[in-house]
């Protein structure tokens, strides 16, 4: 007969944390949120990839492009660029993130000397970048002939047909540096000559990179940013279990620091085949996460298959309707608790610590703290990040309220059938996600700072100042439906209520 779990599965909203002893050190500014991203021998070696904050963005078209990846990496988290696009397009997004902040930026705004002022204005409007490299062939690697910045032209006093070569700052008037210049030296040159950008050129005068004064300032403003050994932002990328032989090499070549198999259900031979391919061709140098699973068996399967981290959650996302369509899934809190127990069991047996990522089910900020307290090492978020300026979707005004579009990878709009397919080669048979709006929330940095301050404050209430201590010391209680109601405002008339009427 079938196996039955007599206990119901629970969501985060059905739990509360019990306060612990708060000493003088338990203040938000003392809380450290550093957390491992990939597996390692805990107690014997350093984790090769760490996050400075326990947040990663979901592998979704409406969430994780290069713009959001840059913004999140500056805050200390990492994005997984969505894989439901061409290999070339995904690799290009990865490359843009890696090139954004090496300090050495590959120019994405380039023209020839025979281009016009109209071309300049169109390029600035399209890219948002005011520095344009003028090269012999109009590419980012052509021979550098000059630069254009906003100081080189005045729209009100010039004709749109004016040629670039007549108003650019020519090469002979530029300060440049050779290709072996390191970032520290480049910044010294920028400050010494009081310039805003420094072209790095090779021995033949071909443009390699631009180093910007603003990047140095930005680094000081983002002390939590996560960088590789070359001082480039970290970025992840999503792959599927069908075209991985073509996709993985391109993503690694583009500079992806970590990969993740994007699948609605990870307890499958297809995930093992994908990991086997990576291990055979790259050994342990290429890091790859797998999932999603909801129980001990699923975790142990992926652990033995060689996953560097394991994602937990099926059907808990705000746009996911897998449970409605297929009757598959588990309450996110229960799934996480079960998988974490298996993670700890595996560590005790092997000495290898495999980080667990909680994916889905986060509705309120305090759910983040609960997920971490239940043993998650980091949290994958879709809806949360889709609300911000940096996400790739359109900001709209709907009935007087600003919103952003947000759709599931299993929706007809995304048509990401690879994520849900069971090894065949066919289209999307039925939808497992919806197309929706989320309330617009502004800049990523502001919202992440606010959310994580809440997490830090709650951790202090639990008497801990780091995530491993939270794993060990957190105490939780299930709550009844009545106590959930009690936890919100009740039995009062809210001042901003539309129904306020003292005469009734």
Question: pLDDT, tens digit, for every residue of 350-361?
Answer: 999 999 999 999
What number is the average pLDDT over the span 299-325? 85
Q: What percent of the chain lies above the pLDDT cut of 70? A: 89
Band (pLDDT 50/70/90 cuts) for residue 407 is confident
| Residue 65 in this model has a pLDDT that exceeds 60 | yes
| Tokens 């443009």 -> residue | 207
Among the residue ranges 130-144, 264-278, 476-490, the one predicted with the least confidence is 476-490
For residue 322, the model assigns a pLDDT of: 65
- Averaged confidence pLDDT in the chain: 90
Catalytic residue among 232, 247, 330, 419: 419
The length of the chain is 504
* pLDDT above 70: residue 424: no
Picking from 17-26, 363-372, 436-445, 477-486, which range would have the lowest pLDDT averaged per residue?
A: 477-486
**Is 260 labeled as catalytic in the residue annotation?**
no
pLDDT at 325 over 90: no
| Residues in Cβ contact with 194 at an 8 Å cutoff, skipping those fewer than 6 apart | none
Checking if the pLDDT of 63 tops 70, the result is yes
pLDDT for residue 81: 97
Lowest mean pLDDT among 112-121, 154-163, 401-410, 451-460: 401-410
User: Is 462 annotated in the active site?
Assistant: no
Given a cut of 50, whether residue 344 has pLDDT beyond it is yes
Residues 285 and 48: their CA atoms lie apart, in Å, by: 10
pLDDT reported for residue 324: 61
Spot the catalytic one: 47, 140, 260, 320: 320
Q: How far from the centroid of its chain's Cα atoms is residue 479's Cα?
A: 32
Assess whether pLDDT exceeds 60 at residue 503.
Answer: no
Taking the C-alpha atoms of residue 376 and residue 312, their distance in angstroms, rounded to an integer, is 9
User: Residue holding tokens 């309120």?
Assistant: 364
Report pLDDT digits (tens) over 438-461: 999 999 999 999 999 999 999 999
Least confident of 3-12, 14-23, 365-374: 3-12
Q: Indicate the SS3 state at residue 34.
A: coil
| Range of lowest pLDDT (332-336, 370-374, 479-483, 490-494) | 490-494
CB 65 within 8 A of CB 389: no
> pLDDT higher for 35 or 128?
35
Q: What is the mean pLDDT of residues 114-141?
A: 91
Reported confidence tier of residue 410, pLDDT bands at 50, 70, 90: low
By the 10 Å C-beta count (0-12 exposed, 13-18 middle, 19+ buried), 180 is classed as exposed
- For residue 170, the model assigns a pLDDT of 95
- pLDDT of 504 strictly over 50: no
pLDDT above 80: residue 131: yes
Highest mean pLDDT among 53-57, 216-220, 499-503: 53-57
Question: Percent of the chain, pLDDT > 90?
Answer: 70
Q: Residue 329: what pLDDT? A: 83
Lowest mean pLDDT among 27-36, 99-108, 174-183: 99-108
Query: Percent helix, strand and coil across the chain, each rounded to 5?
Result: 35, 20, 45
Tell me the two tokens of residue 286.
Answer: 């290429």
Residues 265-288, mean pLDDT to the nearest whole number: 96
pTM above 0.85, yes or no: no
| Residue 302 in tokens | 């992926």
């Amino acid at each position: 007969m079938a196996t039955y779990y007599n206990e119901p599965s629970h969501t985060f909203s059905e739990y509360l944390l019990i306060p612990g002893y708060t000493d003088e050190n338990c203040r938000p500014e003392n809380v450290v949120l550093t957390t491992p991203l990939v597996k390692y021998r805990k107690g014997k070696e350093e984790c090769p990839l760490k996050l400075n904050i326990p947040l990663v963005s979901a592998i979704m078209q409406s969430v994780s492009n290069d713009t959001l990846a840059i913004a999140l990496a500056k805050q200390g988290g990492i994005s997984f660029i969505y894989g439901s696009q061409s290999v070339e397009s995904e690799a290009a997004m990865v490359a843009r993130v890696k090139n954004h902040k090496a300090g050495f930026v590959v120019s994405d705004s380039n023209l020839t000397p025979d281009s016009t002022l109209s071309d300049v204005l169109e390029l600035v409007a399209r890219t948002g970048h005011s520095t344009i490299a003028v090269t012999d062939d109009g590419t980012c690697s052509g021979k550098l002939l000059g630069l254009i910045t906003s100081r080189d032209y005045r729209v009100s006093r010039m004709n749109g047909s004016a040629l670039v070569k007549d108003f650019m700052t020519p090469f002979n008037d530029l300060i440049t540096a050779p290709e072996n210049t390191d970032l520290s030296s480049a910044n010294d040159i920028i400050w010494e000559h009081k310039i805003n950008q420094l072209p790095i050129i090779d021995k033949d005068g071909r443009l390699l990179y631009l180093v910007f004064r603003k990047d140095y300032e930005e680094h000081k403003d983002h002390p939590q940013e996560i960088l590789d050994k070359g001082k480039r932002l970290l970025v992840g990328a999503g792959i599927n279990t069908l075209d991985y032989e073509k996709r993985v090499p391109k993503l690694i070549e583009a500079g992806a620091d970590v990969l993740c198999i994007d699948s609605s259900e990870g307890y499958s031979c297809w995930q093992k085949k994908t990991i086997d391919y990576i291990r055979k061709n790259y050994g342990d140098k290429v890091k790859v996460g797998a999932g999603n699973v909801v129980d001990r068996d699923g975790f142990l399967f992926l652990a033995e298959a060689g996953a560097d981290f394991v994602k937990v959650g099926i059907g808990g996302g705000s746009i996911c309707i897998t449970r409605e369509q297929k009757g598959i899934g588990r309450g996110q809190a229960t799934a996480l608790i079960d998988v974490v127990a298996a993670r700890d069991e595996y560590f005790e047996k092997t000495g290898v610590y495999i980080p667990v990522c909680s994916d889905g089910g986060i509705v309120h900020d305090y759910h983040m703290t609960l997920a971490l307290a239940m043993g998650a090492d980091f949290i994958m978020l879709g809806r949360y990040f889709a609300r911000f300026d940096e996400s790739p979707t359109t900001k709209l005004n709907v009935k007087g309220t600003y919103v952003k579009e947000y759709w599931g990878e299993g929706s007809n709009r995304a048509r990401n059938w690879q994520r849900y397919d069971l090894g065949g080669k066919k289209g999307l048979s039925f939808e497992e996600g919806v197309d929706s709006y989320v309330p617009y929330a502004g800049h990523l940095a502001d919202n992440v700072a606010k959310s994580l301050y809440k997490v830090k404050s709650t951790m202090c209430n639990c008497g801990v100042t780091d995530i491993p201590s939270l794993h060990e010391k957190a105490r939780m209680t299930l709550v009844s439906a009545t106590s959930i109601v009690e936890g919100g405002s009740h039995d009062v008339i809210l001042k901003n209520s539309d129904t306020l009427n003292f005469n009734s």
